[in-house]
């Protein structure tokens, strides 16, 4: 899940200064699980902001709504009709949610209410830890199911640095040295031979190195404009042609790949 | 071209040495090697560099020059290394993965090479959060293991990491790695060294050793794995300056174990001296630190698989001379110019 925290109140007050009517939009998925931007938090924050403004002698109305999934355009569609009433939207979605709002409603001032931290998991009540940086080329096969790209501050791929002590990391002694854990896991799983192989430099082109990534992983599901910047008429057009066959984009290398595959399997 | 001429040309073309560095030759000829360390200044004050060079150059076969150690910006290791080479002190430039991606590393190594640098120590690098630019973004495009392999392939296969040929040949560098025998998981450490050997490391320098019993156990495993025949292992030693420093190293630096009897020895050296006489105390501690270091060098010399020592006299380069002389390792062999 995506883990986020609310921005400090003074930051939010500064952002919203001078606005008369604000809509706080919560999200019922990840950020609600980490108690940052769900319905309850959104209600609470709306109240707090309104009170704080009143204390400062300003008039600001903060209303709130929570959508189930702010990162998917269909889910924020119902907000459209009312948006013109507000001077600003304070999004309590993660960074993706904020941008989904901003892109879908380019005439509305959309502001971020949360600081989005990472992809992670709750490990104990009140503690969330990062687990994946979405490098686009998963190495967990070689590392006993634990991610050194995310969890080793030096992103080492071939074993621990000299700073590992008593199972903890020198960079932050409150977090485990993930390589100590990888070692233990690999030992338990009889994967030590794998640890002894020199892992070559990683191909970071699937990661953040080259800018924004756009992935179409499922050609069979990919319908240009079905999701995203679809206008109402486009959506209508799509609905009316529901029964028509959606042409799958041509894959120029499909034939070659199939041949190679058959060959490898000894079938060609 | 006749077959004979062809063979001749091949012999000429094939380098006798991997790098031709003094350190490589010293080790190849079976001398007990001595390396030191030179920390560049946090400025462009080359006078400081020259002073340090003068202090150590006759007493070591080569000296490491640190690369923004502990994440603190200093005069660059390559820049300082060039000054050292100009003055006849062979440099082992440290290269960390923290600050450069694979493009910068390869380009800098070629740059160092054309300036006559022949040794490189491949490191992950201390995390920037320890230094004076804590908000910096680290790189870690390759890790230290991959760096070793990359340099080895540049040198032996004349190829860039990306696969393209290096026309005219890659940089001739003697490839070093750091070993931390006492960091956890301790049972993994000899295997980690084995992996570095497989990646292409020629020599290793260890973290500072004070606990000889633990070190002997480690070296026994290294020898049992046959690694000492594939890599030249230089044991790290260093003079303790004071009981406070000894305790600090033991408690704060991962991978350094200073046994209580070592700390006591330094402490005892100050007994009977007026605690207000800071100067006399300091002298007494330091003299004992040097003495202890000499004894430790003599002890590691007897351990199978140890090919030399790496003396880390942190901010105390002047200690190198008495240590090397005291250990009977002076004069250093003169093997002629770097080839
Ligand atoms: S290797 Fe990459 S994809 Fe796999 S868990 Fe780590 S960051 Fe995520
Ligand atoms: S101590 Fe472990 S987790 Fe921390 S930087 Fe070193 S190898 Fe990575």
Per-residue pLDDT for B5 more than 60? Answer: no
**Which residues on B lie below 8 Å from A199 (Cβ)?**
145-146
Closest Cα to residue B176, out of B98, B219, B118, B120? B120
Average pLDDT over residues A242-253: 44
In this structure, of A52-56, A176-180, A207-211, B210-214, the range with the lowest mean pLDDT score is: A207-211
Question: Do residues B287 and A194 lie in contact, with contact meaning Cβ atoms separated by under 8 Å?
Answer: no
Contact B183 A153 (CB under 8 A): no
The model's pTM is: 0.87
Which residues, 6 or more positions from B163, have their beta carbon under 8 angstroms from its beta carbon?
none
CB neighbour class for A84 (10 Å; exposed up to 12, middle 13-18, buried from 19): exposed
Closest Cα to residue B72, out of B43, B111, B50? B43
At residue A244, the pLDDT reads 41
Q: Is B21 on the interface with A (CB under 8 A)?
A: no
A211 confidence band (pLDDT: 50, 70, 90): confident
At residue A222, the pLDDT reads 77
B12 confidence band (pLDDT: 50, 70, 90): very low
Average pLDDT over residues B126-141: 94
Contact B143 A156 (CB under 8 A): yes
Which chain B residues in 161-220 lie under 8 Å from chain A, judged by CB atoms? 161, 178, 180, 183-185, 188, 191-192, 194-195, 198-199, 207
Contact B195 A159 (CB under 8 A): yes
At residue B336, the pLDDT reads 77
Does A147 contact ligand 1 (Cβ within 6 A)?
Answer: yes
CA of B124 to the centre of ligand 2 (A): 10
Q: What's the mean per-residue pLDDT of chain A?
A: 87
B8 confidence band (pLDDT: 50, 70, 90): very low
Contact B144 A158 (CB under 8 A): yes
CB crowding A216-234: b at 16 or more within 10 Å, else e: eeeeeeeeeeeeeebeeee
pLDDT in tens, B295-324: 999 999 999 999 999 999 988 999 999 999
In this structure, of B13-27, B53-67, B213-227, the range with the lowest mean pLDDT score is: B13-27
At residue A253, the pLDDT reads 56
List the structure tokens of B236.
């790290």
Per-residue pLDDT for A240 more than 50? Answer: no
Q: In 3-state terms, what secondary structure has residue B249?
A: helix
Residue to mutate among A139, A147, A154, A176, with most B CBs inside 10 A, is A154
At residue A254, the pLDDT reads 53
At residue A255, the pLDDT reads 59
CA of A149 to the centre of ligand 1 (A): 6
Distance of CA B93 to the CA centre of its chain: 9
Nearest to A161 among B124, B146, B161 (CB): B124
Per-residue pLDDT for B183 more than 50? Answer: yes
At residue B314, the pLDDT reads 83
Q: Where are the domains of chain A?
A: 2-119, 133-208
Per-residue pLDDT for A246 more than 50? Answer: no
CA of A169 to the centre of ligand 2 (A): 5
Per-residue pLDDT for A247 more than 50? Answer: no
Average pLDDT over residues A78-90: 95
Per-residue pLDDT for A237 more than 80? Answer: no
B198: β partners: none
| Residue B252 to chain A, least CA–CA distance (Å) | 10
Per-residue pLDDT for A265 more than 80? Answer: no
Percent of chain B with pLDDT over 70: 95
A65 confidence band (pLDDT: 50, 70, 90): very high
Ordered structural domains, chain B, with CATH: 3-240+301-326 (3.20.20.220)
At residue B209, the pLDDT reads 98
* DSSP one-letter string for A57-88: T---EEEEEEES-TTSHHHHGGGGGGGGG-SE
Is A2-119 CATH 3.40.50.2300? yes
At residue A257, the pLDDT reads 56
Per-residue pLDDT for A123 more than 80? Answer: yes
At residue A218, the pLDDT reads 74
CA of A161 to the centre of ligand 2 (A): 6
Average pLDDT over residues A31-44: 96
């Amino acid at each position: 899940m995506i883990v986020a925290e609310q921005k400090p109140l003074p930051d939010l007050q500064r952002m919203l200064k001078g606005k008369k009517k604000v809509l706080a939009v919560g999200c019922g998925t990840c950020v609600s699980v980490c108690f940052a931007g769900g319905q309850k938090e959104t209600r609470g924050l709306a109240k707090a902001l309104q009170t704080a403004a009143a204390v400062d002698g300003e008039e600001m109305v903060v209303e709130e709504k929570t959508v189930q999934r702010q990162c998917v355009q269909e889910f924020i569609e119902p907000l459209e009709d009312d948006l013109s009433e507000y001077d600003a939207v304070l999004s309590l979605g993660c960074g993706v949610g904020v941008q989904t709002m901003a892109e879908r409603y380019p005439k509305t001032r959309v502001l971020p209410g949360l600081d989005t931290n990472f992809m992670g998991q709750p490990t104990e009540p009140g503690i969330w830890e990062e687990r994946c940086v979405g490098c686009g080329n998963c190495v967990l096969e070689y590392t006993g199911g634990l991610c050194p790209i995310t969890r080793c501050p030096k992103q080492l791929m071939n074993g621990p640095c000299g700073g590992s002590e008593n199972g903890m990391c020198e960079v932050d002694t409150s977090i485990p040295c993930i390589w100590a854990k990888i070692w233990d896991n690999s030992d338990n799983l009889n994967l030590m031979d794998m640890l002894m192989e020199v892992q070559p430099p990683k191909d970071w082109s699937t990661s953040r190195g080259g800018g924004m990534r756009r992935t179409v992983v499922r050609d069979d599901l990919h319908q240009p404009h079905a999701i995203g910047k679809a206008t109402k008429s486009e959506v209508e057009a799509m609905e009316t042609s529901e029964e028509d066959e959606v042409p799958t984009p041509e894959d120029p290398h499909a034939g070659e790949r199939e041949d190679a595959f058959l060959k490898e399997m000894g079938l060609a | 071209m006749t077959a004979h001429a062809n063979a001749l040309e091949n012999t000429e073309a094939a380098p006798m040495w991997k790098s031709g560095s003094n350190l490589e030759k010293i080790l190849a000829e079976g001398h007990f090697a001595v390396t030191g360390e030179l920390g560049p200044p946090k400025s462009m004050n080359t006078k400081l560099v020259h002073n340090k060079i003068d202090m150590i150059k006759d007493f070591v076969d080569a000296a490491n020059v640190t690369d923004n150690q502990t994440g603190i910006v200093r005069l660059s290791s390559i820049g300082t290394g060039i000054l050292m080479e100009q003055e006849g002190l062979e440099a082992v430039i440290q290269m960390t993965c923290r600050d450069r991606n694979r493009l910068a590393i390869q380009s800098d190594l070629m740059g160092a090479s054309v300036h006559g640098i022949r040794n490189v120590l491949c490191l992950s690098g201390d995390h920037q959060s320890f230094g004076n630019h804590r908000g910096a973004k680290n790189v870690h495009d390759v890790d230290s293991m991959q760096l070793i392999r990359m340099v080895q392939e540049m040198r032996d296969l004349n190829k860039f990491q990306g696969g393209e040929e290096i026309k005219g040949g890659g940089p001739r560098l003697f490839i070093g790695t750091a070993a931390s025998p006492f960091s956890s998981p301790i049972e993994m450490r000899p295997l980690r060294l084995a992996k570095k050997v497989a990646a292409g490391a020629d020599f290793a320098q260890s973290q500072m050793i004070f606990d000889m019993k633990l070190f002997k156990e480690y070296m026994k495993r290294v020898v049992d794995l046959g690694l000492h025949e594939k890599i030249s292992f230089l044991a790290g030693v260093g003079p303790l300056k004071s009981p406070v420093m000894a305790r600090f190293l033991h408690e704060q630096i991962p991978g350094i174990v200073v046994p209580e009897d070592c700390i006591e020895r330094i402490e005892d050296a100050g007994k009977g001296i007026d605690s207000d006489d800071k100067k006399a105390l300091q002298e007494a501690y330091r003299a004992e630190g040097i003495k202890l270091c000499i004894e430790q060098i003599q002890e590691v010399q007897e351990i199978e698989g140890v090919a030399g020592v790496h003396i880390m006299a942190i901010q105390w380069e002047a200690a190198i001379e008495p240590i090397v002389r005291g250990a009977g390792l002076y004069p250093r062999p003169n093997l002629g110019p770097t080839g």
